Structures are given as structure tokens and as C-alpha cells.
Amino acid sequence: PFILSIAGGGSTYTPGIVKSLMVRLADFPLAEIRLYDIDEARQSTIAPVVEKVIRDHSQSIKFTVTRDAQTAFRGAHFIFSQMRVGQYKMRELDEKIPLKHGVVGQETCGPGGLAYGLRTILPMVELIDLVERFADKAAWIVNYANPAAIVAEGVRRLRPNARVLNICDMPVAAMRNMGAILGVDRHKLEVDYFGLNHFGWFTRVRVDGEDQLPALRRHIAKFGLLTEDAAQTDPQHADPSWVKTWRNIKPIMDNFPEYLPNPYLQYYLMSEQIVAHQDPDHTRANEVMEGREKKLFAAAQEYQSTGILPDAFHVGVHGAFIVDVACSLAFDLRQRHLVIVENRGAIANLPYDAMVEVPAYITSQGAEPVRMGAVPLFHQTLLMQQLASEQLLVEAAIEGSYEKALQAFTLNRTVPTMVHAKTLLDEMIEANRDYWPAL
Ligand code: G6P
Ligand code: MN
């Protein structure tokens, strides 16, 4: 049985992920679960809920809550990384500063994502170093800390040999919805996909070897990538902002006759319409703080005083996907999953060392990307521009370069002009004083 540490234990996602682990104990046996967080107050609020989730399934799994790295990682076999540097207070600024200037306000797309990237690259490297110091030598870090594309590139540049697998649940969340539309379990889908994280396209969606993308497109043209009951079975994605996200895929899809865009492409390809519908005073961060966070904290309090835990957290595709990936790493299952991996020729006309998002076979040695071939010039060009923005941002963090940060902001498609880029960068330098490397 494995020792698993969750870095960012105080996240509102932790109870749901641990629940996903509990229902899969037969596949992924656990001796111990450790929560690790630098925010002690937040983690100790969430921990009793997590402990209850564990005890409902197992009396024998050891449960440890700590803010000490050695206690957290000593001998650990798997580390799930879900740190959120600056927490929701900084997510709110990532979203609101751009919106104030008429630019998309989003946690990973646009200037908000770049700002979040500059906060996260170096702490992620610190985490890797702590893990390498204390954990089992064969330990795997499964990283889904955002902004995943930038974090993955930062790790590749600074710790190229680290055993880190970078993942994002957006493709698998899309696949859950596709499965619901087609009436099959998402595990029955085999997809082809190319791009970068939060910036890519599905090119095939096979069920029993037959491409169902045309059928999906017909559904999406009417309803978006959403079914009535999908919204009900997934409370997170039933929030108004998420319903909008799944609906907005329709107008961008209409412009791609063959492929199915990742919903996040809406921020880059219909930026003006997105901004027009965003509320600069109330963003997704507010929705999460007033919704998911408040509900879970209230439930934790109620549990403390009454011993009864109300139904207050979501168990969804996010946790299930993480467990799938961990199983494939642990037991060399060679399952095919969409992950973020060094290109190595998978997309023939993107750089060999780009961190791309493609299907890959997950073995005990990591991800083996599947060849997706060359992509059309239009897509290649969009991808190259986004890649350059992300790579320049990582270089800005490493070198402390203002100039490269400005180039990164300027190349982001959500940013209309270099003047906007400079205004936003300067304002974000102020806002991120406690977090960014000096530029
Ligand atoms: C999806 C994305 C993540 C993102 C999350 C935000 O799962 O893949 O990258 O962090 O959505 O969800 P939230 O409910 O916090 O807005
Ligand atoms: Mn993601």
C-alpha cells in the first residue's frame, strides 16, 4: 500500500479527491494519506472533513495533517500537487485587474494566467526539491496546480529530470460531457487531441473504433457541450459561469468545420464577447468564495459541533481522473490519457521540446506521447504564439526580466495591444509584490 501526500491539503477540492481515492482503494491501495499545506488554519478546517471521508471507508489508513515538509514527504510514493499560490484573494485580482482595462479576466487564460504563472513557477520548484529530498526515490508528483501549461514549462526548464506528471481535467471534463451526450461512459471514448494546456482541439472522438465527432457536433450546434442532466449531476459545472463556458463552445466550434475546440479557446478567440459578458466587480473567484468555499467551511463547522457532515463537496471527474492517472503510473498500466508532456515529435510541426497536451500512454516511467502528426498552418500559428508567450514568461521568472514579461503579455491573444500589456504588467507587479520574483 502507498503513502500519498497532498500538497495544498487545505484546498476545497481535497475532500472530493480523497473520496475518489476511497472508492478506488481496491485498485490503488493506501497505507497513509498526508495533508500538507503552509496555511495551517485553512488546512485544519478541512482536515476533519477529510478524516471523516477516510473513516467512512477505512479504519486502517493512517491520516496525517502537517505543515512540515519532512513529515509530509518522508518515504511518500505519490504526491498530488494542488497548490494555489496567493489563494482566492489573488485569483480575484488576476481576474479583476484585466477586466478593469477591458481585457479577459480568467485564472489561467490571459494576463491573469500569466500573473498566476509568475507566482507559481518558483514555489513549484521548491516543492519538487523537498519531495526529492524526503520522498521515496521512485515517487511520482502528479501536478494539477495551475496555470498548468506555464508550471509544466517552468519545471521542464528548471528541473528537467524530476518525476512530475502534469495533468489538467478540462479535456476529461469535456469527455464526461461527450459521454453523457452519446450515452456511453467516458472510459469508452478514445480521443485524438492536439494543443497546449487550455489551448487545443479534439480531432477524433471514437467509440468502439467509430468516430462520433460528427454526431457530437450536431448536438453541440444546438445545445453546447452540455446535457440537461450533466448540469444536475455536476454541481460545480452547474454554476452559471460554467454553464456559459460549455455553451460558448458552440460559436467557436462553428468556425472550425472539423475539429472540436477546447472550451478555453473562447477566451482567446472571442475575447471581446467574453469581456462584454463578464462582471468586473464579481468574477469566478467571488462565485467560488461565496459558493463552494463557504458551503464547505460551513459544513466543516457543522460537523465539528453536531458530528453530522452535511453533503457539501463535489465528487467528480477531477478526482476520478487523478486516481486513474496515479494507478497507471503505479502499476505500469499504459492507459491512454490526455496529459501535458514534452512534445518529442508528437505534434510534428511544433518544437520537439514544447510542453504540449496530447494523448499519451502512462507507464511507470511517465507519459509516452502518441503521434498526432502535423497540424494545419492556422492552428500551428496560434499554438506557436501561445507557446512563445508561455515560454517567455518562464524566462522572465528565471531571469527576472521585465522585458520578457512584457513580451509574454504582448503575445497573449487576449491582450489587444502592447500598451495594454504594459499597463497590465505594471499594475500586476504592484499587486503581486509579495509573490513575484523581482522584474
Ligand atoms: C477546470 C480547469 C482547471 C481550473 C478549474 C477551475 O477544472 O481544468 O484548470 O482550475 O476548472 O474551476 P473553478 O470551479 O475553481 O472555477
Ligand atoms: Mn486545467
168 lines ligand 1 (CB under 6 A): yes
From the CB of 146, is ligand 1 less than 6 Å away?
A: yes
**Residue 169 falls in the annotated catalytic set:** yes
pTM of the model: 0.97
Query: Of 170, 313, 357, which is best to mutate to test ligand 1, by the most ligand atoms within 8 angstroms of its C-beta?
Result: 170
The pLDDT of residue 350: 98
Q: Which residues contact 206 (CB under 8 A, 6 or more apart)?
A: 189, 190, 191, 212
Distance 269 CA to ligand 2 centre (A): 18
Average pLDDT over residues 29-55: 97
Going by alpha carbons, the residue nearest to atom 13 of ligand 1 is 288
Closest CA to 346 of 335, 333, 334, 361: 361
For residues 170 and 125, give the distance between their C-alpha atoms in angstroms, rounded to a whole number.
24
Tell me which residue has its CA closest to atom 15 in ligand 1. Answer: 288
pLDDT at 238: 78
Give the tens place of pLDDT for each residue, 38-47. 999 999 999 9
Establish whether the linkage from the previous residue to 123 is cis, with ω within 30° of 0: no
- Give residue-wise pLDDT tens across range 168-185: 999 999 999 999 999 999
Task: Specify whether the CB–CB gap between 117 and 412 falls below 8 A.
Answer: no
Query: Does 1 have pLDDT greater than 70?
Result: yes
Give which of 398, 399, 334, 401 is closest to 363, Cα–Cα: 334
Helix (H, G, I), strand (E, B) or coil at 321: helix
Asked which of 307-311, 401-405, 433-437 is least confident by mean pLDDT, the reply is 307-311
* Mean pLDDT, range 301-305, rounded to an integer: 94
For atom 14 of ligand 1, the residue with the nearest CA is 236
- Give the atom of ligand 1 at the shortest distance from the alpha carbon of 144: 9
**Ligand 1 within 6 A of CB of 11:** no
Question: Which residue's CA lies nearest to atom 16 of ligand 1?
Answer: 284
pLDDT, residue 232, reads 60
Give CB contacts under 8 A, 24+ apart, made by 157-164. Answer: 157/394, 157/395, 157/398, 158/121, 158/125, 158/398, 159/125, 159/128, 159/129, 162/128, 162/132, 163/138, 163/139, 163/366, 164/128, 164/140
Q: What is the pLDDT of residue 88?
A: 98
Ligand closest in space to the Cα of 170: 1
| Ligand 1 pocket check for 169: Cβ under 6 Å | yes
The one catalytic residue in 37, 94, 144, 169 is 169
Q: Is 357 in the pocket of ligand 1 (CB under 6 A)?
A: no
